[in-house]
Amino acid sequence: MPSKHITLVGAGNGGGAWAQWLQAQSVPMTLVEADALQFAALQRMQAAGVLAEAALLHNVVAAEAGTVEFFTANLTVESGLLSPENLRHLWPNLRTVLVEPVHAMALTQLFEVEQDHQWLILDCLPAAALLRAAQAAQHQLDVVLARVLLTEGNQQQPEGTSLAELTQALPGFALLTIKSGRHPQIAYALFVRDYLSAWEDVTQVLDQLRTTFLQNQVINSELIHAKNLQEKKYQELEASLVNVNQQLETALQAKQVALQAKKSLQDRLQKTEHDNDELLKQQELQAKVQQVLEADMAKTTQKLDAESRAKQVAIQVQNALQERLQKIEQVNVDLLTKQEMQVQAQEIFKKELKQAKEVVEKQEQEKISQLKNLDEKFKKERNSLKEEIEKNRESLDSLVKIGIGVFQKSSVSGVDIFDADKINSLLNRDIFTYSIINCNNNNNYIFFHVVNDYIPKVMVESQDFYEKSFLKIIEQLYQPGSIIVDCGANIGNHTIFFSSILNADVIAFEPQPTNYALLKSNVVLNEISHKVRIINKGVGDKKEVLRLYQAKKNNFGTFTYDKDAVGAERLGDVEYFEMEVIRMDDELSDIKNTISVIKIDIEGMELPALKGAAGLIEKHLPVISVECFSKSILDEVKKFLAKYDYFIFASENATPTFIFLSKGNVFHGELVLKNLEFLSLDKYKDKKSFNI
């Protein structure tokens, strides 16, 4: 069933599977996208000559036209009319980035121009709700491909997203196939118009019309029979009228004879008076008979008129039935023609489906072969790495001993568990260990840490730096040759990335004694001491001494001054320490070089730290990253930074972390433009035909 027009709702930036497929089609098409950045990417693609003939619409499509809420999610493909939180049973980390009211167009507006044999692709949710509202225009569609959730029975499933609802919203269509996407419970359902059922419905209507026609023929026969009876009665009445007329003529003749007799026989008048009276009586009787005959003639005339009208109605009914029969016969011919076309289209579709299946099977075999080769390569590289580690074990152990020495010298006195005299006994009990991280740049980084500490555990599993996506954003925003301030450096994950990968000078604040000692050891072990200045203090808006508690067991990055975060029942059993708090404006007043990035992750003291760095912020207008546990904290941070014209550029990490840029910093404006260009090009980094 070839298409005369294809409409894609939810076209994205043109890099999706359906937009890519449309590039190979030669029929008229319309691409609809609601997100401004995604639509801008579509326009750039069209300007470059791709989808040159397609019509692009920047609209939100809803069940009805009007104002709706549009949700922007941190996973772009899930932005739309549904709140991202309704899809967390599928994407646990999905969240809403922005909610804004927008004017939406109805799905039916896309089909205002009557045109049959259209295809519709709905790459958005809830598809069933949109199609249900557009059933009046579905007669123009032959094929519908829609996005559905395969989680029926799940109480968290949003309305209008299930396959059952989609099937009910498409009467007259048959489900051909279902194909899961990147998520196994998110799929695309392909529906085609069920012309066979439609033909059966028309055949049933045709049978009903034939039955009605036969019934009308019977009625027509009865009308003809009634007409014949009326004609027979009419003939009998005519014969009666002729007889009456003859009698009247005879009576008139008798009257004339009587008058003549009266004139000629006046002398016999008395004798004939009696006869004359009788004649008068006969005349009166004849007059009454004549009146009766005239009344009968009037009734007969009315009956003849009624018969004439009935005959005309019967003729009109017969003509209408003949016209309807001709139309039915024409519809039957058209249906037979369409049925033949459908059979041909099904044969073509079967051949194309078979060819596509062969291509997919071939591609799957090639992918399996590639994966096997990669697995063999990985095994060889892993064995080679093991051999290299064994060869260098002696030198590595020596390096770790250097780190242990630094750790011992860095330990803070006054805290029993960190007493330098107990370090060796702690090591013997496997309290501390070290891990080697082999990152994508093929460099090995060593981290000395507490056994089972959360952050190193994640780093070992991923063989990469912790919060890598956040670090990649900072890498794009960092101004080469400038300073990065790391508040809450922990054991050095971010600090080592900044100094080793970005080649930046780093000022690291870490007040917690164990983390401070481990941080100092890891800086030495990774040979970046000359680039990192470590300060064993906390940061805030005034000088003071605070007591910090460990909020989560086995996570040395969760120390907080907030007792409520620990819980009164655990307060006496958790580790704590006292830290000196300073203002960054005081501690870093001697800095000459530019500070381009300030990262703050200090367990609830982010706003006081910003207030204590107001002078540095006003002077340098750096990139600022702030961890915010709640929306209320974010609102306070935004309010404080607004006086320096800061705005949110991005957000990352499991605990919401927001990256701010300033309108007053010209370099930040250039960063925004470069980032937009990077995002556009990064989508095609793996496309060989583009990277020639």
Contact 19, 31 (CB under 8 A): yes
pLDDT at 302: 74
The reported pTM is 0.42
| 568-623 residue pLDDT tens | 555 556 666 788 999 999 999 999 999 999 999 998 899 999 999 999 999 999 99
* Confidence at 57, pLDDT banded by 50, 70, 90: very high
Q: State phi, psi for 316 to the nearest 5 degrees.
A: -65, -45
Parallel, antiparallel, or unpaired for β 559-560 and 432-438? unpaired
pLDDT at site 267: 67
Helix (H) or strand (E) holding 428: helix 423-428
pLDDT band, very low/low/confident/very high, at 402 (cuts 50, 70, 90): low
pLDDT value at 557 more than 60: no
End-to-end CA distance of the chain: 38
Band the pLDDT of 132: cuts 50, 70, 90: very high
| Residue 75 tokens, joined | 């996973």
For 125, the enclosing helix (H) or strand (E) is: none
Percent of the chain with pLDDT over 90: 39
What mean pLDDT value characterizes the chain?
Answer: 81
Which residue(s) pair with 32 in the sheet?
9, 57
Round to whole Å and give the CA distance between 289 and 298.
14
Q: Reduce the DSSP state of residue 326 to 3 states and report it.
A: helix
pLDDT tens per residue, range 650-679: 999 989 999 999 999 988 988 888 878 877
Rounded CA separation 428/233 (Å) = 131
pLDDT the model gives residue 396: 45
Strand residues in 454-536 grouped as ranges (E):
483-487, 505-509, 532-535
98-107, 245-254, 555-564: range with highest mean pLDDT: 98-107
Query: Kind and range of the H or E element at 27?
Result: none
Distance CA 647, CA 413 (A): 43
Q: What is the DSSP string of 334-354?
A: HHHHHHHHHHHHHHHHHHHHH
- pLDDT, mean of residues 292-305: 70
Q: Does residue 408 register a pLDDT over 80? A: no
pLDDT band at 540 (very low <50, low <70, confident <90, very high): very high
Q: Which helix (H) or strand (E) holds 599?
A: strand 595-600
The Cα 424–Cα 427 span in angstroms is: 5
- What backbone torsions phi and psi does residue 185 show, to the nearest 5 degrees? -100, 5
Average pLDDT over residues 27-47: 93
- Identify the residue with better confidence: 239 or 115: 239
269 falls in which pLDDT band (50, 70, 90)? Answer: low
